[in-house]
């Protein structure tokens, strides 16, 4: 009896299992059937079709290339920065006229800057990234049409920018405007793209896609190989005149006209009928101010101007603060250094010297 019940129960269970299997719907295979809703109609279901990348994934390779190019550009700009200088020009009374940018083109102190920077000046100093201050003896050659001037500083074995025959950059190419590390701007190196070249009757320019700040005039423009492809000068063809990028070819043509034995000179100041002209003294010893360790460690920075009065023997008999750096510790350091300065002997004279204390950025070498 028990065996009969067990056989009956097993038969019922087997019947239920078979019924469920027979009732399950079978998929139909039809040619040309539309894909299920989970598959986008715009995507091919063929196994040989390439995958479609998302916009983010597709942009990743280009973004990586741009990052590499940008890194190379910054590296090139950083390498040539020591050759870029801050130039301060003074009138006959020793008062500062203008401060601008230039860059050395030879290791004996020849440098290029803007003509409008030195116009009316009778003396100048060149401040380098290593905090040294070099006396500028005069102008070797100038070009009002190009707004360029070549000057000579009392310096030896300085870093300089060789002007190779670099290929003119094409539209879209990245370039960098390299400013002096002593500049007041937070970012002295400005990255830009070349928009298009522009030619005139006697000049060749590079149009940039980025506005050029006025205080960058005189700066070199380099490509990612560190080659000078232009220099910032005043473009007088525009009305009003604006700063433009004069091509390196024009710069080379200008420099080729500098006589090897040219004597640096300053333009003679117009003498007053009632007052004799001021003496144009020459600085013969000028140690740079040392950054006080306590100020450096505390990241105290500041820029000021100091007047140095030289006696007839050329010694600094008096140092006055024209404008303070904003920190007494920095003012004392500057005055201590300037009290050691010497000029050539002659009538008493004075000069106003700018000084800037800037802690080195963490990413600087």
**Domain-located, residue 235:** yes
What CATH number is attached to the domain comprising 178?
Answer: 2.40.10.10
Q: What are the pLDDT digits (tens) for 190-239?
A: 888 999 888 877 788 888 988 888 788 899 999 888 889 999 998 877 76
Q: Do 285 and 242 share a structural domain? A: no
Do residues 83 and 112 lie in contact, with contact meaning Cβ atoms separated by under 8 Å? no
Strand ranges (E), 39-188? 84-90, 96-104, 110-113, 123-127, 133-143, 148-153, 174-178
Q: Residue 359 domain-assigned? A: yes
The CATH number linked to 360 is 3.30.2420.10
How far, rounded to the nearest angstrom, does the alpha carbon of residue 33 sit from its chain's CA centroid?
A: 63
- What's the number of domains the chain is made of? 2
- What span, in angstroms and rounded, lies between the C-alpha atoms of 359 and 179? 17
Contact yes or no for 101/357 (Cβ under 8 A) = no
Q: Is the pLDDT of residue 6 over 70?
A: no
**Does residue 272 lie within any of the structural domains?**
no
Segment 261-266 mean pLDDT: 90
- For residue 300, the cross-strand partners are none
Do residues 230 and 293 share a domain? no
Does 226 or 272 have the greater pLDDT score? 226
Q: How far apart are CA 189 and CA 222, in angstroms?
A: 10
The answer to whether residues 314 and 243 belong to one domain is no
120 assigned to some structural domain: no
Per-residue confidence (pLDDT) for residue 230, from 0 to 100: 92
Residue 362 in this model has a pLDDT that exceeds 80: no
5: number of Cβ within 10 Å: 9
Shared domain for 241 and 312, answered yes or no, is no
Residues 229 and 188 in one domain: yes
pLDDT value for 282 = 85
Q: What is the pLDDT of residue 5?
A: 56
112 pLDDT band, cuts 50/70/90, is very high
In this prediction, residue 158 has a pLDDT band, given cuts at 50, 70 and 90, of very high
Return the H-helix or E-strand segment holding 21. Answer: helix 2-23
360 pLDDT above the threshold of 50? yes
Q: How far is CA 186 from CA 11, 182, 193, 244, 309, in A?
A: 90, 10, 20, 22, 33
Same domain for 195 and 244: yes
Share of the chain above pLDDT 90, in %: 36
Q: How far apart are CA 305 and CA 325, in angstroms?
A: 8
Indicate whether 143 pLDDT > 80.
yes
Domain-embedded: residue 269: no
Q: What are the tens digits of pLDDT across the range 23-60?
A: 555 544 444 444 433 333 333 333 444 333 233 333 33
pLDDT at 35: 40
Listing DSSP states for 237-263 in one string gives TSSS-EEEEEEHHHHHHHHTTS-TTPP
Q: How many CB atoms lie within 10 A of CB 259?
A: 8
Q: Are residues 218 and 288 in the same domain?
A: no
**Residue 34 falls inside a structural domain:** no
Residue 10 burial (CB count, 10 A): 10
pLDDT at 274 over 70: no
Is residue 133 assigned to a domain? no
In a domain, 119, yes or no: no
Q: Is 287 found in the same domain as 214?
A: no
Structural domain of 310: 281-365
Task: Mention every residue, 6+ apart, whose C-beta is less than 8 A from residue 42.
Answer: none
Dump strand ranges (E) for the chain: 84-90, 96-104, 110-113, 123-127, 133-143, 148-153, 174-178, 189-199, 204-208, 220-222, 228-235, 242-247, 283-285, 302-310, 316-323, 342-343, 349-357
Q: Look at residue 167 in the predicted model and tell me its pLDDT.
A: 76
Check whether residue 244 and residue 317 sit in a common domain: no
Average pLDDT over residues 154-166: 85
**pLDDT score of 93:** 77
Q: Please tell me the predicted confidence (pLDDT) of residue 190.
A: 86
**In whole angstroms, what is the distance from residue 184 CA to residue 154 CA?**
25
CB atoms within 10 A of CB 278: 18
Please state, in angstroms and as integers, the Cα–Cα distance from residue 226 to each residue in 163, 176, 191, 219, 285, following that order.
10, 9, 13, 14, 33
- pLDDT tens digits along 51-102: 332 333 333 333 333 444 567 888 888 888 899 999 999 888 778 889 999 9
Residues 286-295: what's their mean pLDDT? 92
Are the C-beta atoms of 270 and 252 separated by less than 8 Å?
no
Tell which of 248, 266, 296 closes a domain.
248
- Residues 233 and 292 placed together within one structural domain of the fold: no
């Amino acid at each position: 009896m028990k065996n009969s019940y067990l056989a009956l129960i097993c038969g019922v269970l087997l019947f239920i299992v078979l019924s469920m299997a027979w009732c399950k719907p079978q998929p139909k295979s039809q040619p040309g059937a539309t894909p299920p809703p989970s598959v986008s109609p715009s995507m091919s279901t063929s196994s040989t079709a390439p995958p479609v990348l998302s916009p983010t994934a597709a942009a990743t390779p280009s973004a990586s290339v741009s990052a590499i190019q940008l890194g190379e550009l910054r590296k090139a700009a950083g390498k040539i920065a020591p050759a870029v200088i801050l130039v301060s020009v003074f009138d006959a009374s020793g008062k500062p006229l203008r401060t601008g940018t230039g860059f050395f083109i030879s290791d004996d102190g020849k440098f290029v800057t803007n003509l409008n920077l030195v116009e009316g000046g009778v003396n100048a100093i060149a401040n380098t990234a290593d905090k040294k201050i070099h006396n500028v003896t005069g102008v070797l050659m100038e070009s009002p049409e190009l707004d360029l001037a070549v000057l000579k500083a009392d310096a030896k074995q300085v870093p300089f920018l060789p002007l190779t025959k670099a290929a003119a950059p094409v539209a879209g190419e990245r370039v960098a405007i390299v400013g002096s590390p002593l500049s007041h701007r937070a970012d002295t190196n400005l990255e830009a793209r070349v928009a298009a070249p522009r030619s005139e009757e006697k000049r060749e320019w590079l149009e940039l896609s980025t506005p050029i700040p006025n205080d960058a005039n005189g700066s070199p423009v380099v490509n990612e190989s560190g080659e000078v492809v232009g220099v910032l000068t005043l473009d007088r063809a525009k009305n009003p005149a604006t700063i433009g990028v004069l091509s390196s070819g024009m710069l080379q043509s200008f420099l080729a006209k500098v006589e090897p034995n040219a004597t640096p000179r300053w333009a003679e100041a117009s003498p007053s009928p009632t007052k004799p002209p001021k003496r144009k003294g020459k600085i013969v010893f000028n140690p740079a101010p040392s950054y006080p360790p306590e100020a450096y460690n505390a990241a105290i920075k500041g820029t000021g101007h100091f007047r140095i009065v030289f006696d007839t023997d050329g010694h600094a008999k008096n140092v006055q603060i024209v404008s303070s750096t904003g920190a007494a510790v920095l003012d004392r350091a500057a005055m201590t250094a300037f009290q050691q300065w010497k000029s050539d002997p002659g009538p008493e004279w004075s000069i106003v010297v700018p000084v800037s204390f800037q802690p080195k950025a963490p990413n600087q070498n």
